[in-house]
Structure 1
């Protein structure tokens, strides 16, 4: 369950309970962790993983999120730890926070966080208006990987392959087209997107019609299948 921010959805508890108890699904929530303690305690019995999105340490995070959001996120992780709830974190690497990846990883270890997932910043949405946040120096990623590899962390660090030594493949689609889809992201309109790199670009080829309970294929010249938009591939440090 992604956002926006899923914890502001008033029926979140019912959705989590239905997905877990009625459908037997694994339930993971990605949240900014801002003032979610009460609702987190409510849904914890049906939640498999809480993933908190952070953009750095202290004020670095708060300048992108809001004032107080860093401390609030750590409070949520502390509650998760007390509840015995598995926790992970995600961070989008930018020119302003790349030097805080390792300190953040060490901080998260103290809260029992199992995994830190690092994403490459893509110029979509608000990021398109802030090109200064892009990491244009490719050697910066090399230095980051070297620091992480030598840090002997207890937390697992996973890299979006755009941050890897060879970079991500140009296309993740097999020669004959997609055979199996591992993930689908659905937005409130019913748009279904298969690639993280296509999310936010309105390049979806499929729609879910809520009234008829049917998925429609609506191809276009700019959809993710026609353009062969690759998905995000992850690798361990």
Structure 2
């Protein structure tokens, strides 16, 4: 006779971090979405009247290219799909598709929830809306295909925000916390937690209006993990440390 452990009873692993490198980050950027590609970060910033998409040189933090959204839109999550960038907005129910090279607007699309985080797994666009739900979207039609509820044990994990798909798992900022959830995209189970408490020191935060941790990007070729926050002066490259 054998027994198996139900997914709800499986305990999530816990990690802290080691800082590998830090890079300059624009202190005026209210970071909502972050993507790494070919030595650059592509970033979506929020707030009405300040929302944008931008191409940023990782090493220097220099903004190489940017496009400002119209005043009525509050920029949110961002992902790269083939030769485009796809961006959500918060409460407008509207997303935008841009040419990766020129930032020219190619298309827009609609959704019925709020727009928070965005990533993709190579086959589907993956979206969060501030609840415990993760939505899977067809990259061609940009229509919802399915969804899964994220739980830690039996407890729904709400306020899921910025997303990054890393080696088969969804990493998600949990808004207003210093934690990132590592999520199984099939079951929605939280398999691990990353505690980033103290990542930005009081000295680094002094004198500026820093906001919450938000922003995850991954360099798959070099296996580098980058994190930052809204109005943060730095982007950190980190390695996970089991706790």
TM-score of the pair, normalised by structure 1:
0.29
Q: Which has the higher contact order (CA 8 A, sep 6+)?
A: 2
Structure showing the higher strand proportion among its residues: 2
Rg comparison, structure with higher value: 1
